[in-house]
């Protein structure tokens, strides 16, 4: 619990110390580690991260808007408040690495390499969407960029990602798999089964827990008997690290460290990133269960505002730069929305295109009112 | 031609497919050192090693899901679930994931995997170990569900399942593992998924079954032939896709039908077949379609109770004769 409190309240430096951290630190909180601060980083890199985070922020705001205007349907979960975690995690992966996530997947899709246009088109349910309009918000997928799916069933992605790592290991490849999950998901059986298999079979996988302290409306304290989530792999001898998910550099350093260890040692690791959900669970959730205090706390922990402030103070983000980035992000998001708007919806004649990959005799292609035997 | 058991047909095919394709690997509980609860994987660990014959912990959701993930990456995992009852632990990965990944992501990635698992009552295993819940899987578009009743079909269907790019459930049957049948030597035939077969021709009545019930159906037909009753036997073979046309064509010829199924009657596979017959052969029917199915109880352990609850050659014979009397056909 102490660590949770620290992570929540702490505004202090929050790096794991990256590759410098020694093996004996296994299963420890990273909140007290060494700082890899703004001062150590190239301005270009910092500005790039800032832009990426801002892109997630604006993309998600636009998504929320389009949802309210009924241009987007279904369930829709946003990465608002998790921008530093999203960007930090994605920066740690190589192009050849694979990614599995839960349904809160828009930011990951974009920063694993999908174009915001095609992600937005998927949200709109259009043919140019990454899954041609078959998946929607919760199911971003792209073979090219190796994001092998957002998954709407809580925990569903865990055995799958573990199996993808098994395939990598079977073939002796040097890719790793990252599997993102939420705090609430550490309570489902699939999590424990996946960890056990990954450890037994020495699989190159990093499980990245995004701890936003809530699963829908239920807090970590109310759902996890061990609320220090990075410790939950200890029963499977999997080393876990906690990092402040509001700090993009800290997340990146910790993630790079574990990703490269997973790769070189062929072992699974757990990385817990703590951050705050700025809005409700999904777009339609007014989050009435949150106290005023909690709302204020989330706002006070806005990672984008904090990073912006840091970069301004360090003299990296000038007024001009800020405006330039804001404008270009605004344009990119507007362009994505235009693209989605103008992409055609799928034709009903394609309804039976994707039931089976291998064509099969007697596959039913009847429409709801058709007789079974049409002669 | 050699006469081999259903078990050996499966084992020989697994081995041949592993020799043919390095991407084929086996996963399951006790399939390696123990050589399989029903010895389908006998000798395979020795021959192929731990990498390709992977003993899993008791973790059905975990290893079935891992097989789905490995299949997404292009491997061809063949999973053994000790019995179909335990598939319930893995049902989320089978129905919500294996069956959905190809379509839900717009046809980008197929899931070329096989789940082999036996069902079947009659072994005095009690209520939780004797179920035939193939219906749960046959209900789901995206899955292919096969139920062979002969050694030759077991081999040809397993071969087809492994080479197919979609998730296939191959339903084996505890009551059939020791059954024998002819398999051509050096057989390489690949079954066509989605096709039923008329395994015995006849003119008086159509008897429809799958898996053990198709085998029992053929015995019944043979016996009734001695009484001059000509039974046509349709073996469904594929529960999804379902070959309604073959069923209906037969019923149009005979004018009446009995369905034999090892699952429970209400909402069962037979209900779907009966509905299909009334849609496709309404004008040809001379009698109501009869279903012979398991009594609707959790299957008891005690032998007399278990025997009474399960469909048998006797109960099928009774239903056939009663149906023939109803249509006024002579009953021997
Ligand atoms: C198996 C399953 N149970 C319940 C749900 C409904 N549900 C969707 S998201 C969610 C909360 C998950 O929380 P967490 O893992 O913390 O992820 P977060 O939404 O905070 O990113 C629940 C209960 C579901 N989708 N799947
Ligand atoms: Mg959460």
Q: What is the mean pLDDT of residues A155-159?
A: 98
The better pLDDT of the pair A28, B58 is held by: B58
Say yes or no to pLDDT of B204 above 90: yes
Two structure tokens written together for B294 = 């398991």
**Inter-CA distances, B101 with A101, A168, B110, B111, B142, Å:** 14, 19, 7, 7, 9
| B residues 175-234 closer than 8 Å to A (CB) | 192-195
Average pLDDT of the segment spanning A217-231: 97
Q: Alpha-carbon distance A175 to B74, whole Å?
A: 15
B97 has catalytic annotation: no
Asked whether the predicted pLDDT for residue A31 surpasses 50, the reply is: no
Q: Give yes or no: B60 in active site.
A: yes
Residue A374 has pLDDT above 90, yes or no: no
Q: Which residues of B touch A158 (CB under 8 A)?
A: 65
Question: Looking at residues B202-229, what average pLDDT do you find?
Answer: 98
Question: Nearest Cα to A206, choosing from A147, A253, A266, A248?
Answer: A266
Nearest by CB to B75, from A134, A170, A362: name it.
A170
Q: Is position A157 within any domain?
A: yes
What's the CA-to-centroid distance between A252 and ligand 1, angstroms?
A: 25
Q: How many domains in chain A?
A: 1
Give dist(CA B67, CA B112) in Å, integer.
9
Among partner residues A164, A168, A364, which is closest to B241 by beta-carbon distance? A364
Among the listed residues A83, A131, A123, A125, the one whose alpha carbon sits nearest the alpha carbon of residue A107:
A83
Chains A, B: CB pairs < 8 Å = 177
Whether the bond between B241 and the residue before it is cis, its omega within 30 degrees of 0, is: yes
| Residue A209 Cα to ligand 2 middle (Å) | 9
List, for residues A339-361, the tens digit of each pLDDT value.
999 999 999 999 999 999 999 99
The reply to whether ligand 1 has any atom less than 6 angstroms from the CB of A214 is: yes
Output the residue whose Cα is nearest ligand 1's atom 12: A215
pLDDT at A18: 36
pLDDT at res. A75: 97
- Give per-residue pLDDT as tens, B91-106: 999 999 999 999 999 9
Specify the pLDDT at position B187.
82
Rounded mean pLDDT, B10-28: 98
**CA-to-CA distance for A1 and A3, rounded, in angstroms?**
5
Cβ contact A361–B243 (<8 Å): yes
Mean pLDDT throughout B285-314?
Answer: 97
Residue A255 maps to a domain: yes
Nearest ligand to the C-alpha of residue B92? 1
Give the alpha-carbon dihedral of A362, A363, A368, A373, to 10 degrees. -10
Are A342 and A117 in contact, with CB atoms under 8 Å apart? no
pLDDT value of residue A28: 44
Q: What is the mean pLDDT of residues B145-165?
A: 98
Closest ligand, as measured to the CA of A154: 1
Phi (first) and psi of residue B178, to 5 degrees: -90, 0
B 278-317 residues with CB below 8 A of A?
A: 279-280
- Token look-up 């350093």 returns A253
Report the nearest atom of ligand 1 relative to the CA of A154: 26
* Mean pLDDT, residues A357-367: 97
Structure tokens at A256: 């790079």
Are A201 and A192 spatial neighbours (Cβ–Cβ below 8 Å)? Answer: no
CA of A216 vs chain B CAs: smallest distance (Å): 21
Which tokens is B226 given?
């001695």
- At B130 the three-state DSSP class reads coil
Whether A29 shows a pLDDT value over 90: the answer reads no
- Any domain includes A42: yes
pLDDT > 60? residue A20: no
Specify the higher pLDDT residue, B328 or B183. B183
Question: Would you say residue A373 lies in a domain?
Answer: no
**Does ligand 1 lie within 6 Å of residue A88's CB atom?**
no
Q: Mind listing the pLDDT tens digit for each residue in B20-31?
A: 999 999 999 999
Out of A8-17, A77-86, A107-116, A354-363, least confident range: A8-17
**Ligand 1 pocket, residue A63 CB under 6 Å:** no
- Cβ contact A163–B72 (<8 Å): yes
A305-316 pLDDT, tens digit per residue, is 999 999 999 999
Report the percentage of chain B scoring pLDDT > 90.
Answer: 96
Determine the structural domain holding residue A151 and report its residue range: 4-348
pLDDT tens per residue, range A94-106: 999 999 999 999 9
Catalytic residue of the set B17, B29, B80, B129: B129
The better pLDDT of the pair A12, B204 is held by: B204
For ligand 1, whether the C-beta of A107 sits within 6 Å is no
Q: Please state, rounded to an integer, the average pLDDT across all residues of chain A.
A: 91
Query: Are B70 and A170 within 8 A, CB to CB?
Result: yes
- Per-residue model confidence (pLDDT) at position B198: 98
Residue A247 maps to a domain: yes
From A75, A184, A210, A285, mutation site for ligand 1 pocket: most ligand atoms within 8 A of C-beta: A184
Check residue A375 and give its pLDDT: 60
Pocket test for ligand 1, best of A79, A103, A104, A216 (most atoms within 8 A of CB): A216
3-state secondary structure of A335: helix
What's the rounded Cα separation, in Å, for the pair B208 and B214?
A: 7
Note the residue count of chain A.
375
pLDDT of residue A34: 47
Task: Kindly tell me if the per-residue pLDDT of B11 is higher than 70.
Answer: yes
Give the span between the Cα atoms of A261 and A267, in whole angstroms. Answer: 7
Which residue from A247, A303, A330, A322 is spatially nearest to A47, judged by alpha carbons? A322
pLDDT band at residue B33, thresholds of 50, 70 and 90? very high
Q: Is residue A56 part of a domain?
A: yes
List the strands of the sheet with B257-264, edge to edge.
B197-200, B231-235, B205-209, B257-264, B290-294
| Partner-chain contact A164 B103, CB within 8 Å | no
Taking ligand 2, which is a single-atom ion, which protein residues have CB atoms under 5 Å away?
A 182-183, 212, 214-215
Would you tell me how many other CB atoms lie within 10 Å of the CB of residue A19?
10
> What are the CA-CA distances from residue B27 to residues A192, B50, B63, B113, B192 (Å)?
18, 10, 7, 11, 25
Q: Decide which of B4 and A19 is more confident.
A: B4
Element (H, E) at B197: strand B197-200
Q: Which chain B residues are closer than 8 Å to A362 by Cβ?
A: 194-195, 238, 241-245
- Kindly state if the Cβ of A154 falls inside 6 Å of ligand 1: yes
Dihedral pair phi/psi, residue B117, rounded to 5°: -160, 135
Q: Give the pLDDT mean for A268-272.
A: 98
- The confidence score (pLDDT) of residue B329 equals 78
Distance (angstroms) between ligand 1 centre and the Cα of A282 equals 10
**B91 inside 8 A of chain A by CB:** no
The A residues from 44 to 83 touching B (CB cutoff 8 Å) are none
Residue A73 placed within a domain: yes
CB proximity B328 to A under 8 Å: no
Q: In this structure, what token pair is assigned to residue B324?
A: 């023939």
Q: How far away is chain A from the Cα of B7, in angstroms, using its nearest Cα?
A: 26
**CATH number, domain at A303?**
3.40.50.970
Q: Examine the pLDDT at A19 and tell me if it is beyond 80.
A: no
Q: State the burial class of residue A327 (Cβ atoms within 10 Å of its Cβ: 0-12, 13-18, 19+).
A: exposed
Q: Which are the contacts of A338, defined by CB distance < 8 A and separation ≥ 6? A: none
Q: Are B267 and B135 in contact (CB under 8 A)?
A: yes
Answer whether A266 contacts ligand 1 (Cβ < 6 A). Answer: no
pLDDT at residue A1 above 50? no
**Predicted confidence (pLDDT) at residue A2 exceeds the cutoff of 70:** no
Domains and CATH numbers, chain B: 2-183 (3.40.50.970), 197-326 (3.40.50.920)
In angstroms, the CA A121 to CA A338 distance is: 9
pLDDT digits (tens, 9 = 90+) for B63-72: 999 999 999 9
B134 pLDDT higher than 90: yes
Please indicate, yes or no, if residue A361 is contained in any of the structural domains: no
Report d(CA B128, CA B14) in Å as an integer. Answer: 28
- Is there a contact between A117 and A339 (Cβ–Cβ < 8 Å)? yes
B159 close to A (CB below 8 A):
no
Report the pLDDT value the prediction gives residue B328, as an integer from 0 to 100. Answer: 87
pLDDT at residue B332 in the model: 54
Ligand 1 site, residue A227, Cβ cutoff 6 A: no
* DSSP codes of every residue in A198-261: HHHTT--EEEEEEE-SEETTEEHHHH-SS--GGGGGGGGT--EEEEETT-HHHHHHHHHHHHHH
ipTM associated with this complex: 0.97
């Amino acid at each position: 619990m102490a660590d949770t409190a620290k992570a929540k309240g702490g505004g202090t430096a929050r790096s794991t110390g990256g590759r410098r951290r020694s093996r004996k630190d296994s299963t420890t909180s990273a909140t007290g580690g060494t700082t890899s601060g703004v001062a150590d980083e190239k301005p270009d890199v910092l500005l790039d991260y800032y832009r990426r985070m801002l892109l997630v922020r604006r993309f998600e705001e636009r998504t929320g808007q389009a949802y309210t205007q009924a241009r987007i349907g279904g369930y829709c979960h946003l990465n608002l408040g998790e921008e530093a975690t999203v960007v930090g995690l994605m920066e740690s992966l190589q192009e050849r690495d694979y990614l599995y996530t839960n349904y809160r997947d828009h930011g990951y899709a974009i920063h694993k390499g999908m174009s915001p246009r095609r992600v937005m088109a998927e949200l709109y349910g259009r043919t140019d969407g990454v899954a041609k309009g078959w998946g929607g918000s919760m199911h971003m997928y792209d073979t090219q960029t190796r994001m092998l799916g957002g998954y709407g069933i809580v925990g569903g992605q865990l055995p799958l990602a573990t199996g993808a790592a098994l395939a990598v290991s079977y073939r002796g490849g040097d890719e790793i798999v990252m599997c993102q999950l939420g705090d609430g998901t550490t309570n489902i059986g699939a999590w424990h089964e996946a960890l056990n298999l990954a450890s037994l079979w020495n699989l190159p996988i990093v499980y990245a827990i995004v701890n936003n302290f809530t699963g829908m409306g239920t807090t970590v304290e109310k759902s996890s008997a061990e609320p220090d989530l990075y410790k939950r792999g200890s029963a499977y001898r999997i080393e876990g690290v906690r990092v402040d998910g509001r700090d993009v550099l800290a997340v990146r350093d910790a993630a790079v460290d574990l990703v490269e260890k997973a790769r070189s040692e062929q072992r699974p690791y757990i990385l817990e990133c703590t951050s705050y959900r700025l809005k409700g669970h999904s777009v339609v959730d007014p989050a009435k269960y949150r106290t005023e205090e909690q709302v204020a706390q989330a706002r006070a922990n806005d990672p984008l505002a904090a990073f912006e402030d840091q970069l301004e103070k360090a003299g990296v983000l000038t007024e001009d730069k800020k405006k330039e980035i804001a404008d270009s992000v605004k344009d990119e998001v507007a362009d994505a929305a235009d693209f989605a708007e103008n992409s055609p919806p799928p034709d009903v004649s394609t309804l039976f295109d994707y039931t089976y990959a291998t064509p099969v005799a007697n596959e039913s292609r009847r429409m709801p009112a058709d007789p079974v035997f049409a002669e | 031609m050699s006469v081999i058991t259903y078990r050996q047909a499966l084992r020989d095919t697994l081995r041949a497919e592993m020799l043919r394709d390095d991407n084929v690997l086996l996963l399951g509980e006790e399939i390696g050192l123990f050589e399989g609860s029903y010895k389908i994987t006998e000798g395979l660990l020795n021959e192929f090693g731990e990498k390709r014959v992977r003993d899993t912990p008791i973790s059905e959701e975990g290893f079935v899901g891992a097989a789905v993930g490995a299949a997404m990456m292009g491997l061809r995992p063949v999973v053994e679930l000790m019995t179909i009852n335990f598939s319930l632990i893995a049902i989320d990965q089978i129905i919500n994931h294996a069956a959905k990944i190809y379509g839900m992501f717009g046809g980008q990635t197929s899931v070329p995997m096989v789940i082999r698992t036996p069902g079947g009552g009659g072994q005095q295993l009690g209520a939780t170990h004797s179920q035939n819940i193939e219906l749960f899987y046959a209900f789901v578009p995206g899955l292919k569900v096969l139920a062979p009743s002969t050694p030759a079909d077991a081999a040809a269907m397993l071969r087809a399942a492994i080479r197919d790019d979609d998730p296939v459930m191959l339903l084996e049957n505890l009551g059939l593992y020791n059954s024998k049948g002819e398999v051509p030597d050096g057989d390489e035939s690949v079954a066509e998924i989605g096709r039923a077969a008329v395994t015995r021709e006849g003119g008086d009545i159509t008897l429809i079954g799958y898996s053990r019930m198709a085998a029992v159906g053929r015995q019944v037909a043979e016996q009734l032939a001695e009484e001059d009753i000509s039974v046509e036997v349709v073996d469904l073979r594929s529960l999804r896709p379902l070959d309604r046309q073959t069923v209906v064509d037969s019923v149009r010829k005979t004018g009446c039908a009995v369905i034999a199924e090892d699952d429970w009657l209400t909402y069962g596979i037979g209900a779907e077949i009966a509905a299909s017959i009334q849609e496709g052969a309404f004008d040809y029917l001379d009698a109501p379609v009869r279903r012979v199915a398991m009594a609707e109880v959790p299957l008891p352990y005690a032998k007399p109770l278990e025997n009474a609850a399960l469909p048998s050659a006797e109960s099928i014979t009774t239903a056939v004769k009663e149906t023939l009397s109803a249509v006024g056909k002579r009953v021997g």
